[in-house]
Structure formats: C-alpha cells, structure tokens
C-alpha cells in the first residue's frame, strides 16, 4: 500500500505481510513506544500483520513535539490510520493508556462512519465509565517526585525509573503522556457494536478484576474478560498466554 511518509511515521510496520488476512494495530502505554510490540511482529502467525502506533515525542520521533491534548491526538490519529483501514479487516490492541486511546479512536471512527475493528482489545486499562474521578495530576511534579508517583501507581521498579538512561530517554515522553492522560475526560456514548476483550493482571493494583469485567457495559457484541498472572506490565512476561488469548478471540485456528 502506498501512503505518504507522514502516515508511516504514525503507523509502523516492522514486518510487512501483504498476504495477511488481518492488521493488528497496537497502542503503547504512557512513556512507551512502538518497540514494545517488536516481538509480536515475528511471534504471531503470518496471517496477522502487526502495526504498532508510534506517537510523536519518542523513539524514532523524538525530535517531534509531543501532543499534550487528548482531543487533538485522537483527531490526528484518526486521520493518520484511515488509509490503512479499508484494505483488510483490522483489530485494535491497547495497553494501559494505550487502551484509552484505542477505545476513543474506535468511538471516533464510529462517528466518522469509518470502518470498525473486528475486535477491540483493552489491556490493563480501567473501565473509564466507572471511574468518575480522575487520579490527582502528577505531570507537573519535579522529576524525583514524578517518578516516585509513577512507581507507586504502576508498580514500576524504582531502580528502573532512577536510571540515567530512563531520565534521558523515557522521562520526557512519560511526562508528556501523563499530561496528555490528565487532559482526558470520559463522555458517555452508546455502547459500541464491536466485540471487546478486556485483559487484566492478578497483581495489578491499578486495575482490578471488577474493572476488567465492567468493560462489558461498553459493547453490545461479544465480550470476553481475562485475567493473567503478573503486574501492570504482564504483557512482557506472559506473551504465550497473551498470544493464545488474542488468537482465540480473533477466531484464528
């Protein structure tokens, strides 16, 4: 498929698979980048073409200013992914704040009358309609306090957060993404007609089993909640189980 380079900056494709029957768009967590899905491109079946989304302000797009307003991000992202949605069926997978992005992008596509995903996967993401109060903002805090709050909220090891490499390469994107997350406000809309899978982890203090199940209220189609061993970042340690769940819910043999 031929699309302008600016679109390819947003929609990466480490291993193009022209014969694939489905595209899986993956949305990274706050402070992350498209590389967290690199192994997926080779470990999932050849029938799936993995397309991780790369937001500006990180990794290959570090020189670009990050987007810090949620509405602007979703409107821009919708324009960038539209050329990729008409060739073949597709699904969305979003982890943590990436789940918020995947969910709201799906609702935006519905408003635009655009093609819809065959399934929406929301991982380690709270049921937004059941969280009336946003967590206290932390994006404005000094570096040390900011990273301490990240460790407390998400269980990220402090030794990782305090490394010089993290401060230089991850901290700017993480702060920008938290500022972006803090600009988000849930607005009620009718449930989606899209099948939805909600994944959580048994040791994740930020998203409990009930919040995983409550995502079922956001779809009128098939809903499948699942819990995996591990913490908020279980997707790095439970890949075989996660892949199996993805393939089952996508009805791949």
Task: Examine residue 145 and state whether it is found in any structural domain, yes or no.
Answer: no
Task: Identify the domain containing residue 23 by its residue range.
Answer: 5-131+187-249
The reply to whether 175 falls in a domain is no
Cα–Cα distance measured from residue 108 to residue 130, given in angstroms and rounded to the nearest whole number: 20
Q: pLDDT band for position 155 (50/70/90)?
A: low
Q: Give Rg (Cα) of the chain.
A: 17
In a domain, 150, yes or no: no
Residue 152 lies in a domain: no
For residues 74 and 115, give the distance between their C-alpha atoms in angstroms, rounded to a whole number: 16
Is residue 161 a part of any domain in this protein?
no
Mean pLDDT of 171-186: 87
Query: Whole-prediction pTM value?
Result: 0.91
Bridge partners, 91 (sequence order): 24, 119
Mean residue pLDDT across the chain: 90
Identify the CATH number of the domain in which residue 112 sits.
3.40.50.1820
Closest by alpha carbon to 69, among 139, 152, 129? 139
Q: Among 53-67, 125-139, 155-169, where is mean pLDDT lowest?
A: 155-169
Greatest extent of the chain over all pairs of C-alpha atoms, in Å: 50
CA distances from 203 to 53, 117, 227, 234 (A): 27, 29, 10, 9
The pLDDT score that the predictor gives to residue 160 is 62
Q: Is 96 a catalytic residue?
A: yes
Task: Determine, yes or no, domain membership for 86.
Answer: yes
Give the Cα separation of 41 and 208 in Å (integer).
29
Decide: 212 and 198 in contact? Cβ < 8 Å: yes
Residue 173 gets the label, from left (phi > 0), alpha (psi -120 to 50) or beta, of alpha
Rounded Cα distance, 116 and 90, in Å: 8
Q: How many domains does the chain have?
A: 1
On whether residue 157 sits in a domain, the answer given is no
Candidates 2, 35, 96, 183; catalytic one? 96
Q: Contact 47/23 with Cβ under 8 angstroms? A: no
Task: Give dist(CA 97, CA 153) in Å, integer.
Answer: 13
């Amino acid at each position: 498929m031929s699309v302008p380079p600016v679109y390819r900056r947003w929609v990466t494709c480490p291993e193009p698979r022209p014969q694939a029957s489905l595209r899986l768009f993956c949305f990274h967590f706050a402070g992350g980048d498209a590389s967290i899905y690199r192994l997926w491109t080779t470990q999932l079946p050849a029938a799936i073409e993995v397309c991780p989304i790369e937001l500006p302000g990180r990794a290959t797009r570090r020189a670009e200013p990050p987007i810090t307003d949620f509405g602007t991000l979703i409107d821009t992202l919708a324009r960038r992914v539209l050329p990729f949605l008409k060739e073949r069926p597709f699904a969305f997978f979003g982890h943590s704040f990436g789940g918020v992005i995947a969910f709201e992008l799906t609702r935006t596509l519905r408003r635009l009358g655009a093609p819809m995903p065959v399934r929406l996967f929301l991982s380690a993401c709270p049921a937004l309609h059941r969280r009336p109060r946003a967590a206290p903002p932390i994006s404005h805090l000094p570096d040390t306090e900011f990273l301490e709050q990240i460790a407390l909220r998400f269980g990220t090891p402090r030794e990782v957060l305090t490394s010089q490499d993290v401060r230089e390469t991850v901290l700017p994107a993480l702060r920008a993404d938290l500022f972006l997350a803090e600009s988000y406000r849930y607005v009620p809309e009718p449930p989606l007609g899209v099948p939805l899978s909600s994944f959580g982890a048994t040791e994740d203090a930020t998203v409990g089993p009930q919040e995983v199940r409550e995502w079922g209220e956001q779809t009128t189609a098939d809903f499948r909640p699942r819990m995996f061993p591990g913490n908020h970042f279980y997707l790095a340690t439970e890949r075989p189980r996660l892949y199996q769940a993805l393939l089952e819910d996508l009805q791949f043999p």
